[in-house]
């Protein structure tokens, strides 16, 4: 990586990050903070971001479409990351991107910024580029023409939990056993993992911007969206069939995506318009300069799924959801990535240790605090399909340890008198967890109960939504029963 380290930049130079509330910027931020350099984030709504940054990170208000708001943010900046675009805008996103880049470039040049790092889209310069890719290339030219030193990365499909392309692939594969596939799903791409993309962006801090270099970056494999969908299905244990059709225009494809994925039709149209172009790196100069050894697509998808599990395990639902709201946001709960979540909370006038006591004794002879006949019926049905049912009980009536069985659940993690997470070992088309957390609240506590389901394919979605009326009844009864038991035991 010797060429990348020949910049002469200071080890303590201040960094400006735009797009910190977006997908790539939000993941780059902690890596920049870990370098020890001072970081400043430019956002339109600082109050949204302040709770998510390190203590030494500045968050300043500014709008790239408002030129007068930019000079204060760019003062004393050595490296500025430009990670914004307007693809989701209802109006003319190309004109918005053009104006934003022009404003930023002028302010950066006037402020004496030593290096602008820009993330664009990978495609050969040619007539007939999609509006999205055409705009990404134009933004790069505007930044370079300003006179500021610019390092531009051009990336193909980004593979990571939460990325636009990955979520589209997930939704299609999880929802549709049979997919009608137009020609654009067979166009070649060079997908890159979010981990490798962030490595390039971070290492650009010390890269030489002389000559305004453009680096095409991708992963270790070249494949199409169809290949990506097959690999995702393989790792999720799903059997999927693809029926190719000769014609399905981007406009029709986007409407179809809008029906079966979380994508808005307008975003889907712009994304598909870009997919129709091959996005393959023409050389490996970026790998040689920055020393990044990219992951395979299989490794990137595996990492995305594993990281999603890790992020799920680290989530504190009392932070993510309103502790005052016991009713889920909509039928079926809320979507968190690929998971379906039903979270409910109750406040009790009992300290946390005593509030946790009924939770510690849940299952076995104590039962589940509500609708016990329904639990027995569900256990019997599980036995009929080869599951463990409710036969196992629990090894100790009053204590829980990691690895303990509790009916058809197993204790996955526990924090004494605060939280416990159970993993379901019954037969369901997916994976399920049940989590309890108790937090102090004045002289009492808030008890939060969260049911999490990771559906496997269409069968998993059908199971969750068909069973949800019964689940909602039972979930509500459980949290109410636990709260009542805590209050009752405290008063005894």
Task: Give the CATH number of the domain where residue 130 resides.
Answer: 3.40.50.720
Q: Are residues 180 and 71 in the same domain?
A: yes
pLDDT of residue 55: 84
What CATH number should be reported for the domain holding residue 340?
3.30.530.20
What is the pLDDT, as a whole number, of residue 320? 43
Q: Strand pairing of 241-244 and 178-181?
A: parallel
Q: Are the C-beta atoms of residues 221 and 161 closer than 8 Å to each other? A: no
Domain end, chosen from 310, 338, 365, is at 310
The pLDDT of residue 325 is 38
Q: Do 134 and 259 reside in the same domain of the chain?
A: yes
166 Cα distance to chain centroid: 10
Counting every residue, how long is the chain?
A: 492
125 and 226 share one domain: yes
In order of 49, 106, 348, the CA distances from 79 in angstroms are 20, 15, 51
Whole-model pTM over 0.75: no
pLDDT of residue 401: 92
pLDDT in tens, 419-439: 999 999 999 999 999 999 999
What does the pLDDT read at residue 191?
93
Domain end (from 274, 294, 310): 310
Judgement on whether residues 141 and 230 belong to the same structural domain of the protein? yes
Same domain for 46 and 158, yes or no, is yes
Sign of the torsion angle spanned by Cα atoms 73, 78, 79, 85: positive
At 22 the pLDDT is 85
Domain that holds residue 460: 316-491
- Structure tokens given for 284: 């490996």
- Do residues 118 and 98 both lie within one domain? yes
Q: Classify residue 408 as left (phi > 0), alpha (psi -120 to 50) or beta.
A: alpha
Q: DSSP secondary-structure letter at 62?
A: -
Same domain, yes or no: 306 and 320: no
Do 304 and 288 share a structural domain?
Answer: yes
Domain boundary among the residues 276, 310, 344 is at 310
Do residues 321 and 280 share a domain?
no
Q: Which residues of the chain have pLDDT under 70?
A: 1-12, 86-91, 126-128, 247-277, 311-330, 337
Q: What is the pLDDT of residues 438-483, one digit of tens each?
A: 999 888 999 999 999 999 888 999 999 999 999 999 999 999 999 9
Reading phi first (left if > 0) and then psi (alpha if -120 to 50, else beta), residue 179 is in beta
Number of domains in the chain: 2
> With b meaning 16 or more CB within 10 Å and e meaning fewer, what string describes 333-363?
beebbbbbbbbbbbbbebbbebbbbbbbbbb
Listed residue (165, 159, 164, 192) closest to 292, CA to CA: 192
Q: Do residues 236 and 322 share a domain?
A: no
**287 and 327 together in one domain:** no
Query: Tokens representing 271?
Result: 């994304």
Do 341 and 304 lie in one domain? The reply is no
């Amino acid at each position: 990586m010797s060429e990348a380290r020949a910049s002469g930049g200071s080890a303590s130079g201040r960094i400006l990050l735009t797009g910190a509330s977006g997908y790539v910027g939000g993941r780059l931020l902690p890596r920049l903070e870990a370098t020890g350099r001072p970081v400043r984030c430019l956002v339109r709504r600082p109050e949204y971001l302040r709770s998510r940054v390190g203590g030494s990170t500045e968050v300043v208000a500014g709008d790239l479409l408002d030129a007068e708001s930019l000079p204060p943010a760019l003062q004393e900046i050595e490296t500025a990351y430009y990670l914004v675009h307007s693809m989701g805008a209802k109006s003319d996103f190309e004109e918005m991107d053009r104006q934003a880049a022009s404003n930023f470039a002028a302010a950066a040049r006037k402020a004496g910024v030593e290096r602008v790092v820009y993330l664009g889209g990978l495609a050969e310069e040619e007539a007939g580029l999609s509006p999205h890719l055409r705009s990404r290339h134009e933004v790069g030219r505007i930044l370079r023409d300003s006179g500021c030193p610019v390092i531009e990365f051009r990336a193909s499909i980004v593979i990571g939990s939460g990325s636009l392309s990955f979520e589209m692939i997930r939704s299609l594969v999880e929802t549709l056993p049979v997919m009608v596939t137009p020609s654009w799903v067979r166009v070649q791409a060079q997908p890159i993992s979010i981990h490798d993309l962030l490595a390039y962006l971070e290492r650009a801090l010390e890269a030489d911007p002389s000559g305004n270099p453009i680096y095409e970056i991708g992963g270790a494999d070249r494949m199409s969206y169809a290949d990506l969908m097959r690999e995702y299905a393989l790792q999720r244990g799903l059997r999927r069939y693809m029926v190719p059709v000769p014609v399905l225009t981007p406009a029709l494809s986007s409407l179809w995506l809008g029906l079966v994925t979380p994508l808005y039709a307008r975003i889907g149209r712009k994304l598909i318009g870009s997919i129709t172009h091959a996005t393959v790196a023409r050389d490996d100069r970026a790998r040689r300069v920055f020393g990044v050894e990219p992951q395979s697509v299989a490794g990137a998808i595996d990492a995305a799924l594993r990281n999603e599990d890790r992020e799920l395990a680290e989530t504190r639902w009392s932070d993510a959801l309103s502790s005052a709201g016991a009713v889920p946001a909509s039928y079926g709960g809320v979507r968190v990535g690929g998971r379906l979540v039903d979270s409910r909370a109750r406040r009790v006038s009992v300290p946390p240790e005593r509030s946790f006591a009924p939770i510690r004794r849940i299952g076995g002879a104590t039962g589940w605090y509500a609708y016990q006949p329904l639990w027995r019926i569900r256990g019997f049905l599980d036995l009929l399909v080869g599951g463990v049912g409710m036969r196992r009980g629990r090894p100790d009536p009053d204590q829980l340890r990691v690895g303990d069985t509790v009916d058809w659940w197993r204790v996955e993690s526990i924090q004494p008198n605060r939280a416990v997470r159970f993993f379901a070992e019954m037969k369901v088309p997916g994976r399920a967890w049940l989590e309890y957390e108790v937090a102090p609240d004045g002289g009492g506590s808030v008890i939060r109960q969260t049911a999490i389901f990771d559906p496997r394919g269409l069968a998993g979605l059908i199971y969750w939504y068909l069973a949800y009326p019964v689940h909602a009844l039972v979930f509500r009864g459980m949290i109410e029963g636990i709260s009542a038991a805590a209050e009752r035991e405290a008063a005894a």
